[in-house]
Amino acid sequence: MEAAKNIIAQFINKNPVEITDDTVIDKTVVKGSILIHRMYAALSEEGYLVPDYLNIRTYGNLCDKLNQKTSANVPNNINRSDVLLETDNSIGVDIEKLVNIPEAADFREEQFYIQNFTPKEISYCTLKAYPRQSFLGLFCAKEALCKISASIAQKKFNEIEILHTEDGKPVYEGYLLSISHTDDTAVAIAMKNSKPEKNITLEIEKNEKIDLPVSPPKGSKLLLSLVLFSILISITTLLLYFLRFKN
């Protein structure tokens, strides 16, 4: 486990020899959700494959997960602290820095991307002009979804697949998503969609499509009301003009 300690030490700013079973290694000491995922991707590259690592709080928990002997008497049933109770009005928000997303010669071969994105998501982002920004946006969206859904939060990130409409809007069934970028930052908002009313077509791959329910476009009812109001004004004006002309 010395190699594991060397990797963890880089992310928690400790000397490897200072790491004990009671050493906290979760997001309270690893600054940023992306860095947590990067740490476990690095561990995977060294052969330390850790399932459900978002529930791990201490190095002792990690040893237990890896079936290593440990003297720490610490629980393993630790849940993500940032998951809220899900209601129809729940909103999840996440913001991340681009600098935390790792560079990769081939995103399909890098453990961080394999563990956090589906093959279709990797293909989608790789084809973009700025792939890392696209990955960052998707990561934020997944974090935002996890913050409002306990069931989603229990999934691995590469089991949460965010699709896109033909015009590039992100979609996850049952939820509304919005992703925005700057040059070095991405932010995503997720909200429960409790009243899906119609289907839209999603473009997954060339010549492959799927229909998912989403809400009607925002402002469509308001636009219709304005059109009807304009027609009513026009008719009223014509009637007044006609009556005036007749008199």
- Coil vs helix vs strand at 94: strand
CA atoms lying within 13 Å on the CB side of residue 4: 20
pLDDT score, position 6: 87
Q: What is the pLDDT along the chain (247 residues), one digit of tens a residue?
A: 788 888 888 888 888 888 888 888 887 888 878 888 888 888 888 888 877 777 788 888 888 888 754 433 433 333 454 555 555 558 899 999 999 999 999 999 999 999 999 999 999 999 999 999 999 999 999 999 999 988 898 899 999 999 999 888 999 999 999 999 888 999 999 998 876 555 554 544 444 444 544 444 444 455 555 555 556 655 655 555 555 555 5
Contacts of 152 (CB under 8 A, 6+ apart): 145, 146, 160
Backbone angles phi, psi at 55, to 5 degrees: -90, -5
Tokens of 184: 């070095």
pLDDT in tens, 12-34: 888 888 888 888 888 788 887 88
Q: Which helix (H) or strand (E) holds 61?
A: helix 59-65
176-to-72, 92, 96 alpha-carbon distances in Å = 42, 10, 19
At 75 the pLDDT is: 38
Structure tokens, 210: 């799927």
End-to-end C-alpha distance for the chain, whole angstroms: 99
What is the per-residue pLDDT for 71? 39
How many Cα atoms occupy the beta-carbon half-sphere of 160 within 13 Å? 26
Amino acid at site 244: R
Q: For residues 193 and 175, what is the distance between their CA atoms, to the nearest angstrom?
A: 5
Measured distance CA(67)–CA(182) in Å, rounded: 43
Please give the distance of CA 20 from its chain centroid, rounded to a whole number: 32
What is the per-residue pLDDT for 131? 93
Instruction: Name which of 157, 1, 155, 154 is nearest 67 in CA terms.
Output: 1
> What's the pTM value of the predicted model, to 2 decimals?
0.68
**Four-CA torsion 115, 116, 117, 118, nearest 10 degrees:** 50
Tell me the two tokens of residue 99.
Answer: 């600098």
Beta bridge partners of 203: 209
Report pLDDT for 74: 38
